[in-house]
Copies of this chain bind each other. A is one copy, B any other.
Amino acid sequence: MKNKRVNFMTYTKLDADSIISYILSIDTLHHFFGTDTLEASEIGDGNLNYVYIVRAADHPEKALILKQAVPYLRIAGEGYPLSRDRMSYEIRSLKLYNALIPQHVPDVLYADEAMSVIVLEYLSKHIIMREGMMDAIIYPNFAAHMGQFLAQTLFKTSSLFLEGTAKRQMMAQFNNNTELCGLTETFVFTAPYMEHETNEIDPLIEAEVLALREDTAFKIAMLELKYKFMNQSDALLHGDLHTGSIMINKDETYVIDSEFAFFGPFGFDVGALIGNLAMSWVSHFERSKDSHYQGWILESIVELYETFETYFLSLWSAAEQSALIEPGFIDHKGLKQYQQNFMQNILQESIGFAGAKISRRQLGIAGVADIRGIEEPKSRARAEKMALSIGIHLVKNYRTMHLITDLTDYLRNLK
């Protein structure tokens, strides 16, 4: 094919044609494909961005993914401006994740902040985990993989590992991700629990929704969680770690879509994932009625958390010096006690944030397909009510839970 000349010095929105010129203009990507003729097509249903697959026409297994941000919210159109900067945070976080735990994020083949473009390894043998869970597929390695992912990414970007200057320099790369943090502040912590034009409420659960708007204890607990989200800069978060941000198969697990990345509380990513697993668990009372699959989900929550905790503590044992703890400051027994308090707090905050994620998905602008995709209205409403009552319980009671099994026991006793 013929190379069309395009000016890529300033931001240009790519399309299926210009994308090939763009790819060929970059040496490493040109080498990747060699002399093959290329084809590009848009894939997926990106809410925020445009996503293309680029293939060698005669060797379709030779492929890569190109993702470009546009200066608006893609699903809503040009009337909903959203800075292209989000791609810079995705680029920076994915590069950092590749340095920390390359086996669980796609390779970044090329990145261009000026063009808001990232070019990624094509994961041909994986599907979005949420889709797999709706089909009741068991992923035997998921919990171990994601427990390790969470431990590596959270521990190694925290002041338990980094020196002060290194941490502040890393924070400076993400400090201005204000717009996407603002979306979370509004759509996870605020709008779903008040009258708000963006809410999408099933009329069949209206009574519960109206009752929740009057629940002062819930609101206070939600403000406490929101305040932590806004002001506690423990570690670099993915920021949107639900089962739709994971590409998976029986063997491998990859985290994608990290444009919400910023420095926030440890429990937020852990809680987001646990909350989404719990919603899948709820959905299967209506979807598959497969108690074996539901059992696997609850076991996975426990294994996920316990793997996270074990790896986090083992990384901590290996890190002799950090901005927080100088060697010789505290004896072994004291350190163990401090670590125990520290991990207890992470567990509780994770459960609180899980509750926030579950609640908002029943009322707010973004439902989860697991539950909102249940077709029969009464069946869907039963799942929504159950999920909502779980979310409320966790938000109000996370400080009473001391083990991850306190959460799964609570769930198991609901039916």
Interface centre among A191, A226, A323, A328 (most CB of B within 10 A): A323
The contact of A223 among B169, B182, B324, by CB within 8 Å, is B324
Given A226-B324, A330-B223: A165 and B182 interface contact (C-beta under 8 Å):
yes
A159-216 CB contacts (< 8 Å) to partner B: 159, 164-165, 168-169, 171-172, 175-176, 178-179, 181-182, 185-186, 190-191, 193-195, 216
**Shortest beta-carbon distance, A338 to chain B, in Å?**
5
- Does chain B have a CB within 8 A of A269? no
Residues of B within 8 Å of A164, CB to CB, are 178, 181-182, 185, 230
In the complex, A179 Cα to B195 Cα: how many Å? 46
Q: Are B230 and A232 in contact, with the CB atoms below 8 A?
A: no
Residues of B within 8 Å of A178, CB to CB, are 164-165, 168-169
Q: Are A194 and B328 in contact, with the CB atoms below 8 A?
A: yes
Q: Are A323 and B176 in contact, with the CB atoms below 8 A?
A: no
In the complex, A323 Cα to B223 Cα: how many Å? 11
Residues of B within 8 Å of A165, CB to CB, are 178-179, 182
- Does chain B have a CB within 8 A of A27? no
* Residues of A that sit less than 8 Å from B by CB: 159, 164-165, 168-169, 171-172, 175-176, 178-179, 181-182, 185-186, 190-191, 193-195, 216, 219-220, 223-224, 226-227, 230-234, 323-326, 328-331, 333-334, 337-338, 341
In the complex, A211 Cα to B324 Cα: how many Å? 22
Residues of B within 8 Å of A338, CB to CB, are 219-220, 223-224
Q: Across chains A and B, which 7 residue pairs bring their CB atoms closest together, nearest first?
A: A216-B334, A165-B178, A219-B330, A168-B178, A220-B338, A164-B182, A159-B230
Q: Are A231 and B233 in contact, with the CB atoms below 8 A?
A: yes
Residues of B within 8 Å of A227, CB to CB, are 159, 324
**Shortest beta-carbon distance, A250 to chain B, in Å?**
38
Given A164-B230, A176-B172, A230-B324: A193 and B223 interface contact (C-beta under 8 Å):
no
The contact of A219 among B232, B329, B341, by CB within 8 Å, is B329
In the complex, A223 Cα to B324 Cα: how many Å? 7
Interface centre among A169, A193, A195, A326 (most CB of B within 10 A): A326
In the complex, A285 Cα to B244 Cα: how many Å? 66
**Shortest beta-carbon distance, A205 to chain B, in Å?**
20
Residues of B within 8 Å of A233, CB to CB, are 231-233
In the complex, A186 Cα to B337 Cα: how many Å? 22
22 A–B contacts from the bound complex (CB under 8 Å): A159-B227, A164-B181, A164-B230, A165-B178, A165-B182, A168-B175, A168-B176, A168-B178, A168-B181, A169-B178, A172-B175, A172-B176, A186-B326, A190-B326, A190-B329, A191-B326, A216-B333, A216-B334, A220-B330, A223-B330, A226-B324, A232-B233
In the complex, A337 Cα to B224 Cα: how many Å? 12
Q: Are B232 and A323 in contact, with the CB atoms below 8 A?
A: no
Residues of B within 8 Å of A185, CB to CB, are 164, 323
In the complex, A168 Cα to B276 Cα: how many Å? 29
**Shortest beta-carbon distance, A412 to chain B, in Å?**
32
What is the chain B residue whose CB lies nearest that of A166? B178
In the complex, A323 Cα to B190 Cα: how many Å? 10
The contact of A337 among B195, B216, B234, by CB within 8 Å, is B216
Q: Are A341 and B220 in contact, with the CB atoms below 8 A?
A: yes
Q: Are A325 and B159 in contact, with the CB atoms below 8 A?
A: no
In the complex, A231 Cα to B229 Cα: how many Å? 12
Residues of B within 8 Å of A230, CB to CB, are 159, 164, 323-324
Q: Are A334 and B219 in contact, with the CB atoms below 8 A?
A: yes
**Shortest beta-carbon distance, A97 to chain B, in Å?**
21
In the complex, A194 Cα to B185 Cα: how many Å? 42
Q: A216-B333, A231-B232 are in contact. List 12 more A-B contacts (CB 8 A).
A: A165-B182, A185-B323, A216-B337, A219-B338, A220-B334, A223-B324, A223-B338, A224-B341, A230-B324, A231-B233, A232-B232, A233-B233
What is the chain B residue whose CB lies nearest that of A223? B338
In the complex, A216 Cα to B331 Cα: how many Å? 8
